[in-house]
Amino acid sequence: MTRPTVVTTIAELRAGLAARAAGRGSGSTPGSVALVPTMGALHDGHLALVERAAELADTVVVSIFVNPLQFGPEEDLDKYPRDLEADLEALDPFDVAFVFAPTASEMYPKGAAQVHVIGGPVAELFEGRARPGHFDGVLTVVSKLLNIAQPDVVLFGQKDAQQVFLVRQLVDDLNFPTKVEIVETVRADDGLALSSRNRYLNGDERRAAVAISRALEAASSGADRGIDAVLAAAQSVFMDERLVRLEYLKVVNPKTFLPVDDGYRGPVRVLIAARVGSARLIDNDAIYLN
């Protein structure tokens, strides 16, 4: 495959997409556009999104932007991994037309954005409670990217389940003419969900982190005995794992993303957040309570 064209300004991306839509230039292909928003540090989970995007659209845009709005003052904005050249090499085998890699000043030329998207009540739960303002920052930058690229489809990974729910709500509530496509979580051979933050883990921490996916498997094993059994089974996995500090374990209705009560029966999503060393990791799984 030809290495994607790297553009760093909004004007360049819009001009490049317009040229392809008009059929101008060597190799230009008019048609549908897919957007894969990322913060870089690409791994096989991101590449699964890119591969699916190429199946769905004629032109694939991958954005690489570490969005400052979604980081709190004590979070890892400054040390978040950045390596554009490695990301471009990872994208080489895929049919990507453009990599949009703007600076913060390009995306927010007046400094902190004066107009924000507010995620609402669900954005204040779980990850939103642990990271106040996080989802407002996510939804603000996603709104900007959708307006900039105007894609027919935008792709996200299921690992970030609460983000997926809120982006779908954003697109529906604000009438973006964009389909939201979700790709299942990509896991390592031992079950750990792939994440850019996994690279923060040392050897012992990496081995311990597998407790998160094992807890989700345990939760599923208790599904036929109700929510209390689901929670107890998952919690038991963490009891002897001293390197993993559980932050929350929740069971939510996938339609509302609100916690279910004891008598609920039907589809649910189990959410886990935990700290392993300096890394804060999240994962989730869909199960059915009988």
Query: What pLDDT, on the 0 to 100 scale, is given for residue 76?
Result: 82
Tokens 């009988």 — which residue?
290
Separation CA 290–CA 16 (nearest Å): 52
Q: Spell 37-66 as b/e; 16+ CB within 10 A means b.
A: bbbbbbbebbbbbbbbbbebbbbbbbbbbb
Separation CA 210–CA 208 (nearest Å): 5
Angle at 38 between CA 181 and CA 255, to 5 degrees: 40
Active-site residue identified among 43, 46, 116, 134 = 46
Query: What pLDDT, on the 0 to 100 scale, is given for residue 25?
Result: 47
Q: Judge whether 69 and 105 are in contact, CB under 8 Å.
A: no
CATH of domain 5-183: 3.40.50.620
Separation CA 44–CA 194 (nearest Å): 7
- Assess whether 43 carries a catalytic annotation: no
Beta-sheet pairing, 153-157 with 33-38: parallel
Q: Judge whether 163 and 154 are in contact, CB under 8 Å.
A: no
Query: What pLDDT, on the 0 to 100 scale, is given for residue 113?
Result: 73
Separation CA 279–CA 206 (nearest Å): 10
Delimit the domains of the chain by residue range: 5-183, 196-289
| For the chain, the helix, strand and coil percentages under 3-state DSSP, each to the nearest 5 | 40, 20, 40
Query: What pLDDT, on the 0 to 100 scale, is given for residue 29?
Result: 52
pLDDT along the chain (290 residues), means of 10: 91 96 60 95 97 96 96 85 95 96 95 88 97 96 98 98 98 98 98 96 98 98 93 96 97 98 94 97 96
CATH topology of domain 196-289: Pantoate--beta-alanine Ligase; Chain: A,domain 2 (3.30.1300)
